[in-house]
């Protein structure tokens, strides 16, 4: 059972909910898919046992040959290769590492080299959480390449909690697409609702069942609640807008540390999701 925790708007409490879920289940795999800004490790404090560097292959051009590399430049959809006379200016951050320039360019004058774009880290958290995270190197745009590497390590036989990146674009799709159920965390504000609606649209297209957790309940207005009720969208929980929760958060503590009754509430949410998925 794979449960992803996503949110269109950033800062609504994805990691708060994902960490609390993992702690409530206890024996599960936790994956921080927010490789551009991973932070779940601050709360789960994993003992990292294994680090794997993730590389892509990028071209190296031998420009002293006196041959033009214009075919490479014309081919490159991402405009990473500027061919000026017989010289080349290569823009590494634009290169997707497709290898196309090697096929169309002058034979033998382009070699590939490995370039590190980030790493994935594996470890354990007490008592039984298998922890996995991706960390993209600042400046690199290859978010989904790191995420594909995480995907290869999903433990399909166990409960898996996926902490998604914010937003509704490629990196969010990568994070939710393997899940059996998605928990959308939102806040009851116009901004929260606007981005929730977009997330719901994405999940419907991907045919992934979902429920909503309203965080910071008490601020804003009733529109999120009304929207969900009018469309029969299940509200799994409402987390109150409590300054003490923020205080715990800032100390690297989880919602279940703050108030142990959340342990039970999240266990119930999981069993409800279990039932819903198994009925299908």
Partner 1 sequence: MKVCISSTGITLDSNVDPRFGRCAYFIIYDTSTDTFEYYKNESRDAMGGAGIKAAQKALENKVDTVISGSIGPNAFKVFQSSQIKIYTGVSGSIRSAIAQLKNNELTQAAVPNVQSHYGMVR
- With binding defined as CB under 8 A, does residue 42 bind partner 1? no
Q: Which of 49, 87, 244, 271 binds partner 1 (CB under 8 A)?
A: 87
Residue holding tokens 């051009």? 61
- With binding defined as CB under 8 A, does residue 77 bind partner 1? yes
* Cis previous bond, 107, omega within 30: no
Specify burial of residue 131 (Cβ count, 10 A radius: 0-12, 13-18, 19+). Answer: buried
Smallest distance from partner 1 to CB 72, Å: 11
CB 224 within 8 A of CB 188: yes
> Could you tell me if residue 72 is left (phi over 0), alpha (psi between -120 and 50 degrees) or otherwise beta?
alpha
- With binding defined as CB under 8 A, does residue 91 bind partner 1? yes
Give dist(CA 162, CA 31) in Å, integer: 5
Give dist(CA 102, CA 108) in Å, integer: 8
- With binding defined as CB under 8 A, does residue 75 bind partner 1? no
- With binding defined as CB under 8 A, does residue 72 bind partner 1? no
- With binding defined as CB under 8 A, does residue 56 bind partner 1? no
Please identify, among the stretches 8-16, 42-50, 82-90, 172-180, the one whose residues bind partner 1 according to the rule CB under 8 A: 82-90
Q: Which of 37, 42, 48, 84 binds partner 1 (CB under 8 A)?
A: 84
Short-list 56, 39, 191, CA closest to 114: 56
Q: Which is closer to partner 1, CB of 70 or CB of 216?
A: 70
Q: How many residues does the chain have?
A: 280
Smallest distance from partner 1 to CB 109, Å: 19
Smallest distance from partner 1 to CB 274, Å: 42
Smallest distance from partner 1 to CB 78, Å: 5
Give me the residues that bind partner 1 (CB under 8 A), please: 73, 76-80, 82-84, 87, 89, 91, 94
């Amino acid at each position: 059972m794979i449960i992803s925790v996503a949110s269109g708007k950033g800062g609504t409490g994805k990691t708060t909910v994902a960490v609390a879920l993992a702690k409530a289940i206890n024996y599960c795999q936790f994956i921080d898919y927010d490789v551009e800004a991973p932070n779940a490790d601050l709360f789960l404090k994993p003992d990292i046992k294994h680090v794997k560097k993730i590389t892509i292959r990028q071209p190296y051009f031998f420009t002293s040959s006196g041959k033009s590399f214009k075919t490479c430049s014309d081919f490159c959809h991402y405009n990473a290769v500027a061919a000026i006379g017989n010289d080349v200016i290569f823009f590494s951050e634009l290169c997707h590492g497709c290898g196309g320039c090697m096929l169309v360019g002058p034979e033998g004058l382009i070699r590939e080299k490995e370039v590190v774009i980030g790493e994935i880290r594996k470890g354990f958290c007490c008592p039984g959480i298998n922890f996995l995270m991706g960390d993209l190197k600042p400046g690199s745009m290859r978010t989904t390449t790191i995420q594909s590497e995480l995907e290869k390590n999903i433990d399909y036989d166990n409960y898996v909690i996926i902490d998604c990146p914010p937003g509704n674009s490629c990196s969010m799709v990568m994070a939710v697409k393997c899940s059996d159920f998605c928990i959308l965390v939102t806040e009851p504000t116009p901004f929260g609702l606007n981005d929730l609606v977009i997330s719901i649209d994405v999940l419907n297209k991907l045919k992934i069942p979902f429920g909503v957790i309203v965080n910071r309940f008490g601020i804003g207005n009733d529109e999120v609640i009304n929207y969900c009720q009018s469309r029969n969208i299940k509200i799994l929980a409402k987390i109150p807008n409590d300054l003490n929760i923020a205080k715990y958060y800032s100390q690297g503590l989880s919602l279940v540390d703050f108030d142990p009754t959340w342990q039970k509430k999240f266990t119930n949410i999981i069993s409800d999701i279990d039932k819903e998925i198994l009925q299908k």
